[in-house]
Structure 1
Amino acid sequence: MKSVRDLDVSGKTLFIRVDYNLPMDDQGNISDDNRIRATLELITYLIEKKSKLILASHLGRPKGGRDKKFSLKPAAVRLSELLNMPVAFAEDCIGDAVKKQVQALEPGQILMLENLRFHEEEKKNDPDFSKALADLCDVYVNDAFAVSHRDQASVTGITRYAKSSAAGFLLEKEVRSYYDSVEHPKKPLIVVIGGAKVSSKLAALENMLKFVDCMIIGGAMANTFLAANGVDTKGSMIETDLIDTASGIMAHAREKGINLLLPSDLVVADRFDKDAQSRTVSLNEIPDGWMALDVGPESAKRFANAIASAGTIVWNGPMGVFEMGPFAAGTQAVADAIAGSSAFSVVGGGDTGLAAKQCGITEKVSYISTGGGAFLHMMEGKVLPGVAALE
């Protein structure tokens, strides 16, 4: 990738694709501004270079055009507060009015565009829409890792028409952290994979067998692997159509000498509810109709002991329903083990990033990705379309 650091951007107009898809409360206030803060290094650098900045993002999933609750105006206000300088706001992302606002920019000034997804052409990667975005700038910069697995107008389409394209600091950092942790790791490489479904991470599981020394599997997806080992998981969520696939993954791991760890005890409940009856049981003691909602303390200890030997750790997916207090202990134990390790540690975004925050380890790991889907896309061994478009 060409880096924005490699370009002469002084006095140039830069179109920067950021990811300001921010969580909002019921009153329309930003509840977490970390995605804005993640871009401040790049924005500050470009302000010092006297560039003229256009920031563009999507927010949510608006249907049928403009929807005030998905406006990016609160993001512009919050960015202005963080930078302690004005951030102008455009009521659209293309059109004559937007062009006039861009033309009025002075070096070091910022204009934030309205939600790209107010135009359905964004997700469709429409060529005319892509060109209209590119016509606004001298240089296109992708600093939105979290959407770089999408083939959309502001991610890939715009690069076909922009005079020059480059990667921003955050995108560079994300891609580098993946290659350092997976394809060129300090050994042993231990991967912790959890979450709900094998199907959502099947490609990642299969690809990671090329690299890992130890694979720890927890969360509801572990139930399918346990079922493949003959365990009756009773009312637990399993993917019956993937039991044979899970058997194949375990067989492949054995062939390669990879230590694949599954839960040996479980925290089960009589229903999916934080107030449900719950207990810790061994694998052959699950009551009829009850479901596994977390790994048990024995499993958590085994997982933590394995993590202690790591040279590199990649974590993607919680060990249980961490959002519910009675079923958060397994995830907390794994998080604490990762935080206590001296290994290079990378936490996948999305739910795993939320889990890391809830467990209080965000300052104790090497890197937390800003994009769950994009991080998983790379774990599957795939090239991100947004990165390929810059090459």
Structure 2
Amino acid sequence: MSLKFNTIDDFQLNNKTVLVRVDINSPVDPNTGIILDDTRMRLHAETISELADKGAKTVILAHQSRPGKKDFTTLEQHAHALSKILGRPVIYVEDIFGCAAREKIARLEPGDILLLENVRFYSEEVLKREPHLQAETHMVKKLSSVADYFINDAFATAHRSQPSLVGFSFVLPSGAGRVMEKELKTLYGAVENVQRPCVYVLGGVKVDDSIMVMENVLENGSADLILTTGLVANIFLLASKAKIGKCNAEFIDNKGYSDFIKVAERLIKKFRDKIIIPVDVAVSKDDKRLDVPINKIPDLPIFDIGTETIKLYAQKIRKAKTIFANGPAGVFENPEFSVGTDDILNAIASSEGFSIIGGGHLAAAAVQMGFEGEMDHISSGGGASISLLGGEELPVVKVLEEVADKK
């Protein structure tokens, strides 16, 4: 696939008002409300700084969490954090597109940076619509009237069609920011130029995402092996007729993933030699780790893959030329059950193959465990990267390509 979209390099931005959509959605302490990690803000700092250095009047659109969640809050604290990271003032306005926001934008000077309020405070932002319909929302109409360009740097949400992500591209000259540009070129490049053998390590608790990817890469022949971990592995164990204990089966059912057992059965039947499932697991007994073979799993929660499985998977990974990994192997936040995730990341880091780590929890684990510099690419977006690998068309990318000639 040949990607064609504008970037910051395609526009003359001096003294122009530029709307830039970023994803600085950050972990927040539910008790204190304090931001716990500023990784995403640091990622977008390059794009924001470059815009300011080019003399743009930079207006940032971003979100934090979603309605109903404890960390759904204003972006005032994000403005302070961004200011420290950028080493320059970031103005914050408690408004999205109303008079207060538009008046602030009108008073900006070249090089100024303004952060608008959480776009998900606006009800139309969370409505699912076709991209061209998002251009008709109040947010897009009001803000595009006071802006010259739109730069989309929010790769982590590129799989969503929302006003702040796709609407502006229909009414303003638009391009990709540096995070978006790097992610798309790296991921599409890796997918199109797969070196063999290619190994996918799919785990975590988002079973639907992982199985979507698994189906796609097995059907199109781009994967040589799939190593299953996490809840994905438990579903494939059930599909292979292993008895995983009542509590684990109920957990899968409660998560709404029971239907995927049939899908797993079909995939095992068709691609038996390519799908590897654990030979042992680690259960939690009295809050301690207990490794057991899959034919002797007690009715205790499975929190990790077992030590024999870890050895087997590490061998497969170290022989790979291309490695895509998404989702932790177990409850890695608990030191007792971080072994699988830790050792798999260590195997990927020590492999000579080209490695891509999906965003989300596995990316956080890679950074937490000190493997960040050993991976070829750690994606900023779990949902977006997994959608791309699963063969889905990303709405943001499609729109950026459709409007590429608009300058």
Task: Judge same fold: TM > 0.5, yes or no.
Answer: yes
1:204 aligned to 2:210?
no
> Equivalent residue of 2:195, what SS?
coil
**Aligned mate of 1:59, from 55, 64, 87:** 64
> Equivalent residue of 2:182, what SS?
helix
User: What residue identity is the alignment partner of 1:280?
Assistant: D
8 Å CA contact 1:181–1:313 kept in 2: the answer is no
Tell me: CA distance 1:314–1:99, structure 2 relative to 1, closer, same or farther (3 Å).
same
Tell me: CA distance 1:68–1:291, structure 2 relative to 1, closer, same or farther (3 Å).
closer
Q: CA deviation at 1:197?
A: 5.0
User: What residue identity is the alignment partner of 1:267?
Assistant: A
In 2, distance between residues paired with 1:196 and 1:86?
A: 40
In 1, distance between residues paired with 2:87 and 2:165?
A: 29
Tell me: CA distance 1:109–1:277, structure 2 relative to 1, closer, same or farther (3 Å).
closer
Q: How do 1:109-128 residues align onto structure 2 when only pairs under 5 Å count?
A: 109-124=112-127, 125=134, 127-128=137-138
In 2, distance between residues paired with 1:58 and 1:242?
A: 32
Q: How do 1:32-71 residues align onto structure 2 when only pairs under 5 Å count?
A: 32-62=37-67, 70-71=73-74
Q: How do 1:1-391 residues align onto structure 2 when only pairs under 5 Å count?
A: 1-25=5-29, 26-62=31-67, 70-124=73-127, 125=134, 127-162=137-172, 164-209=173-218, 210=220, 211-235=222-246, 236-237=248-249, 238=252, 239-254=257-272, 259-270=274-285, 275-287=286-298, 289-391=299-401
> Equivalent residue of 2:324, what SS?
strand
Q: CA deviation at 1:56?
A: 0.9
In 2, distance between residues paired with 1:142 and 1:189?
A: 31
The C-alpha deviation readout for 1:146-198, integer Å capped at 9, x for no partner, is 11111111001222222x01111101111122113323222221110001253
8 Å CA contact 1:28–1:69 kept in 2: the answer is no
In 2, distance between residues paired with 1:112 and 1:102?
A: 10
Unmatched segments (≥5 aa) in structure 1: none
> Equivalent residue of 1:44, what SS?
helix
8 Å CA contact 2:359–2:379 kept in 1: the answer is yes
In 1, distance between residues paired with 2:270 and 2:176?
A: 37
* Matched length: 380
Task: Calculate the aligned-residue CA RMSD, in Å.
Answer: 2.0
Q: CA deviation at 1:121?
A: 1.7
8 Å CA contact 2:15–2:110 kept in 1: the answer is yes
User: What residue identity is the alignment partner of 2:361?
Assistant: D
Q: CA deviation at 1:204?
A: 1.3
Unmatched segments (≥5 aa) in structure 2: 128-133, 402-407
The C-alpha deviation readout for 1:83-123, integer Å capped at 9, x for no partner, is 22211111201122222211111111111111111111222
User: What residue identity is the alignment partner of 1:308?
Assistant: R
User: What residue identity is the alignment partner of 1:52?
Assistant: K
> Equivalent residue of 1:363, what SS?
helix
Give the % identical residues. 37
> Equivalent residue of 2:163, what SS?
coil
User: What residue identity is the alignment partner of 2:201?
Assistant: V
> Equivalent residue of 2:126, what SS?
helix
**Structure 1 moving runs of 4+ over 4 Å:** none
User: What residue identity is the alignment partner of 1:203?
Assistant: M
8 Å CA contact 1:93–1:115 kept in 2: the answer is yes
Higher mean C-alpha deviation, range 178-187 or range 114-123: 178-187
Q: CA deviation at 1:140?
A: 0.4
